Amino acid sequence: MNKADLVDRIAEACSISKTQASTAIDTTVDSVTSALRKGDRVALIGFGTFSVSQRKARNGRNPQTGATIKIAARKVAKFTPGNELKKVVNRGK
């Protein structure tokens, strides 16, 4: 499923225009992104939690040359699925 498919589903389910559905999705993504940028967690009960995790600096290896390279420390976005989402995914259709 891509963004256009999601817009279509939301517009149909909520009886709103595709433009309004697209705005709702964009606002949601922007809100989650800005919260993560600040270092906050975003918990959607039943769905999951978005958070920021810190990765330490480490040594890596260039697979073509075999040379050792330094990989800098960085922050990464992380998603942890909630129990309800896990149950639905494991149950199948």
Alpha helices (H) along the chain: 3-14, 18-38, 83-91
Residue pLDDT, tens place only, 4-42: 999 999 999 999 999 999 999 999 999 999 999 999 999
Residue pLDDT, tens place only, 67-77: 999 999 999 99
pTM confidence score: 0.79
| Statement: residue 93 has pLDDT above 90 | no
